[in-house]
Structure 1
Amino acid sequence: MTALIAVLAVAGLVQPAAAGAAGAVKEDIKDALARIPGLKIVSEGPAPTGYRFFKLTFTQQADYTNPKAGTFEQRLTLLHRDTDAPTVMFTSGYNVSESPNRSEPTQIVNGNQVSMEYRYFAPSRPTAENWAKQLTIWQAAVDEHRIVQAFKSVYHANWLATGGSKGGMTATYFRRFFPNDVNGTIPYVAPNDVIDPLDSYDKFLSKVGNDPGCRDALKAVQRDTLKRRDELGALAEQASKENGFTYKIVGSIDKSLELSTIDSYFAFWQYQTQADCATVPKPGAPAKDLYAWFEKVGALTGYSDQALVGFVPYYYQAAVQLGAPEAYDSYLRDLLRYPGEDVPKTFVPKEIKRPKFDYLAMPDIDFWVRTQAKQMLYVYGGNDPWSAERFAPAKFPWSDNHAYTVPAGNHGSKIAQLPAEQAAEATATVRKWAGLPAQAPDARAFSTQSAPAGFPLFDADLMMIDRPKF
């Protein structure tokens, strides 16, 4: 029997006995998960060495203020290592990645990871939709709270929460409404649009990077594109016909081209690096070369219905609660056919009714972060436009809050990219919150070590690298 248990343990089917429990065998994780009310195991698939990977659903209420509104099945994934290890609660703020990839905090603590799909991102959506009442930051925070509390019946060690971009915002909102659910929160590149009509993005974008020539080149290629609208529009129309793209939401392919052109300056600094300045086409470049550059930075067909449909819940939230940057387009005004249209509501289908903008939601979050937040660690990128308006966590001696900026970093900035001393400090903080020894590995090692069993250590999906500008 002992030999059989050893074989099963090696195969990952039975967990080794807990320390101090001589002769005991841990319950199989599937059996433990089966006891969580509302949780369903959809499938188990390939995972990195030392882990097991599950696709799950969890029954949530459509509206926590109205039990009669029904329920929906929210998609989750679980990377299970050990019930005694720390657990990281992750969300991108969008769809859940179905790949067994670990966020950076999960790597740092070598822990378990529960990943959540944000409500209203298909298929995690109620059948009887009520966007105004059901798709709010509070409703989503309750989703995350219920998941953490449910999984704590299995994972008893310390918990962390994390996410990148909108996921970083989500992790912050979750902590504001449920400050005691986790032992620490690590939001990455999380924008903080406190008062929507007032922002600092234009000032940031006018000085971003260390090369004024690069900024000028980007503006020049935008003007060249709009002057050659018909030439480039023909290429976009051809690509749209080949791919079946339509433009009912924004109104026309010409409007998509204009909005994509406006956003290309922001998108370049969001996802490219200073070295990519050399790739910016010069005015008059062949149309096919210019079109190909936009395919890398922000496709001129990027606001087709097919590209937008998966992100409509985000644009809706930006239009009613989150806020968004103003368009950086003053130097293009003489060439615009649709001025004032580069705003979130443009990307929300007209049949979805929007309530008045909630001007209290973001100031409430900002005030809590500045005055009451504890154990928060923010990471921003020095060249990332979303860093123009960032969270500033409380600095009281008891707060144990931290904020770091990756020099010249973009929207994929992480702890491993910080200067060595700061990376070590941040890594030690994350490990401390996870209840692990203070001696921390070099965080930069996470960006160089090989992925186990052929799986990436840090997944682009987790940071939503391919998300639209807003």
Structure 2
Amino acid sequence: MRTWTRRCLLGSAALAGGLAAAAAVPTAAAAVTGKARPERDRIGEALRALPGLRVIEERSGAEPGYRFFILGLRQPIDHTNRAAGSFEQRLTLLHTSAERPTVLFTTGYEAVLTPRRAEPTVLLGANQLQVEHRFFGTSRPATLDYSYLTIRQAAADHHRVVRLFRTLYPGAWISTGSSKGGMASVYHRRFHPHDVDGTVAYSAPNNVDDRDDRAYIRFLDSVGNAACRDALRTAQRQILLRRTDMVARYEAWARAHNATFRIIGSADKALEIAALRAPFMFWQHGTTADCATIPGADAGTDELYAWLDDVAGLALYADPVAQRFIPYFYQLGTQLGYFEVPTRHLTGLLHYPDAMEPRTFVPRDIPMRFDPDAMPDIDRWVRRHGQRMLFINGTHDAAVAEPFRPSDRDSHLLWAPGANHGVTIADLSPTDRAQAVGLLTRWTSTG
């Protein structure tokens, strides 16, 4: 997505709210293979028998009826040329029964190594296989050649995972993810449309129009009410009017945490980026109730700084965290596209014309060239050919200012009123909620 975000993870049954009762979670796992050995022996043996798969460890803490495994799968760096070498991709498995559906889940970033179930997993009482995105976390080749970090290569990773694990889980499969994870799920379907029986993409931006990207500006100029938007503009102006004091606080924080700004260039530039992004991040993660917390023109500098840190996450722009997100910004700057924000009210206060460009967040020794055809291709496929796809969005989420528009091939777009980037099926109206659950049930029962 074009957002640089605190990742949203769909997780436990609590996130499913009142829908948790709809998930018929088995109380005991069924056999995966064979008939004589105990289940605890059979599933471990079955996993170890899969070619290229390594069982790293089994961890405790899973819901009753589930077992949680950390896995590593040997993947080609280039799926079109095995001579390019390989890397180990991190997977996690929440196993309950080979008789249940399986949910293919990704955050679009590094894997979450705790046994948390995505909402479809809860609703379906399903197994869950999580795939860490290539070049994130530990799923990195020894030598990083970012030219292999493409949506098609990542889709091929997912394709190999599905083909391998279908030998253990032959039932229905649903893919899912939120934000960048939702995008990755859509891209997987574009190139391998028959791998799964349906897809639930939460808060997934559709960054199709990067040449004249006014959708995000229009959204930020109209979301919420006028008073809240004016308050956000005032806070931005005050932050930049007090730039010297704000940067001094930022640099003091950096010294205390041994943090530098070599990737972005300076604390001054990082502060400007955070200020520019503040309204976007506010609506992405906040609600209209949070409008009352926006500092006014007479607020103290300490209050303004604390608010900016809370909303935009100032630690995100310093090297220790920014380093982890280089692959993300590389994807933005080569295929996924980025976004623009309103700046007319900040005339005379901005020092860095390139502040919002993905190139700002990627070291200069990493080549980047934007492919203008990648996202239009995805958009056309979703509109014309995408089948059994469900998009769940919040009306106040800035990240979906450009939403996917699905085809009429049993695909649907549902909006949760007032919800933000953390939207779930549970946030939908009762009618839409019933429709979403019905779709999942039908897709997994007919296969």
TM-score norm. by structure 2 comes to 0.90
Q: Which amino acid in structure 1 is aligned with residue 65 of structure 2?
A: G
Matched, 1:402 2:416: no
Matched, 1:414 2:424: yes
Task: State the alpha-carbon separation in 1 of the partners of residues 180 and 29 from structure 2.
Answer: 35
2:45 maps to which of 24, 31, 40? 31
Shift of residue 195 of structure 1?
A: 2.4
Task: State the alpha-carbon separation in 2 of the partners of residues 16 and 64 from structure 1.
Answer: 34
1:294 maps to which of 275, 292, 308? 308
Partner of 2:89: 74
What is the SS of the residue equivalent to 2:139? coil
Post-superposition Cα deviations, 1:282-319, rounded to whole Å, max 9, x if no partner, equal: 11312222111122101344311112111111100100
Task: State the alpha-carbon separation in 2 of the partners of residues 171 and 358 from structure 1.
Answer: 20
Q: Which amino acid in structure 2 is aligned with residue 202 of structure 1?
A: I
Post-superposition Cα deviations, 1:335-377, rounded to whole Å, max 9, x if no partner, equal: 01112321111101111111x2111111111111010110000
Task: State the alpha-carbon separation in 2 of the partners of residues 268 and 372 from structure 1.
Answer: 35
Matched, 1:248 2:262: yes
Partner of 2:378: 365
Distance change in 2, residues 1:147/1:175 (3 Å) = same
What is the SS of the residue equivalent to 2:316? coil
2:396 maps to which of 383, 395, 413? 383
Matched, 1:135 2:145: no
Post-superposition Cα deviations, 1:87-132, rounded to whole Å, max 9, x if no partner, equal: 0000010000001001111111010000011001132111122212
Task: State the alpha-carbon separation in 2 of the partners of residues 57 and 41 from structure 1.
Answer: 7
Task: State the alpha-carbon separation in 2 of the partners of residues 35 and 337 from structure 1.
Answer: 58
Post-superposition Cα deviations, 1:242-265, rounded to whole Å, max 9, x if no partner, equal: 111100111101000011001001
Matched, 1:88 2:98: no
**Count of aligned positions:** 418
Retained in 2: the 8 A contact 1:256–1:302? no
Partner of 1:238: 252
Partner of 1:278: 292
Partner of 2:199: 185
Partner of 2:59: 45
1:429 maps to which of 429, 434, 439? 439
Matches within 5 A, 1:47-196: 47-132=62-147, 134-196=148-210
RMSD (CA atoms): 1.9
Shift of residue 22 of structure 1?
A: 9.3
Partner of 1:464: none
Task: State the alpha-carbon separation in 2 of the partners of residues 22 and 54 from structure 1.
Answer: 22
Partner of 1:392: 405
Distance change in 2, residues 1:62/1:409 (3 Å) = same
Question: Structure 1 stretch 324-333 or stretch 368-377: which is displaced more?
Answer: 324-333
Retained in 2: the 8 A contact 1:16–1:25? no
Matched, 1:212 2:226: yes
Retained in 1: the 8 A contact 2:239–2:246? yes
Shift of residue 231 of structure 1?
A: 1.2
Q: 5+ unaligned residues in a row in structure 1: which ranges?
A: 1-11, 438-470
Task: State the alpha-carbon separation in 2 of the partners of residues 50 and 278 from structure 1.
Answer: 44
Partner of 2:324: 310
Partner of 1:458: none
Q: Which amino acid in structure 1 is aligned with residue 112 of structure 2?
A: S
Retained in 1: the 8 A contact 2:200–2:391? yes
Retained in 2: the 8 A contact 1:90–1:161? yes
1:269 maps to which of 283, 296, 318? 283
Task: State the alpha-carbon separation in 2 of the partners of residues 424 and 161 from structure 1.
Answer: 19
Q: Percentage identity across aligned positions? A: 44
Q: Which amino acid in structure 1 is aligned with residue 210 of structure 2?
A: D
Retained in 2: the 8 A contact 1:71–1:126? yes
Task: State the alpha-carbon separation in 2 of the partners of residues 264 and 17 from structure 1.
Answer: 51
Partner of 1:342: 356
Post-superposition Cα deviations, 1:264-292, rounded to whole Å, max 9, x if no partner, equal: 01100010111000100111312222111
Q: Which amino acid in structure 2 is aligned with residue 429 of structure 1?
A: L
Retained in 1: the 8 A contact 2:259–2:318? yes
Post-superposition Cα deviations, 1:121-177, rounded to whole Å, max 9, x if no partner, equal: 132111122212x10000000000000111101011100000010111100000010
Q: Which amino acid in structure 1 is aligned with residue 73 of structure 2?
A: F
Question: Structure 1 stretch 190-199 or stretch 363-372: which is displaced more?
Answer: 190-199
Shift of residue 16 of structure 1?
A: 4.3
Structure 1 stretches of at least 4 aligned residues deviating more than 4 Å after TM superposition:
14-18, 21-27
Distance change in 2, residues 1:63/1:420 (3 Å) = same
What is the SS of the residue equivalent to 2:169? coil
TM-score norm. by structure 1 comes to 0.86
Task: State the alpha-carbon separation in 2 of the partners of residues 100 and 172 from structure 1.
Answer: 24
Task: State the alpha-carbon separation in 2 of the partners of residues 325 and 161 from structure 1.
Answer: 26
Post-superposition Cα deviations, 1:407-441, rounded to whole Å, max 9, x if no partner, equal: 0111111110000111011011112112289xxxx
Partner of 2:7: none
Retained in 2: the 8 A contact 1:327–1:343? no
Distance change in 2, residues 1:16/1:227 (3 Å) = closer
What is the SS of the residue equivalent to 1:367? helix
Retained in 1: the 8 A contact 2:29–2:66? no
Task: State the alpha-carbon separation in 1 of the partners of residues 92 and 334 from structure 2.
Answer: 29
Q: Which amino acid in structure 2 is aligned with residue 207 of structure 1?
A: S
Partner of 1:197: 211
Distance change in 2, residues 1:285/1:298 (3 Å) = same
Retained in 1: the 8 A contact 2:239–2:305? no
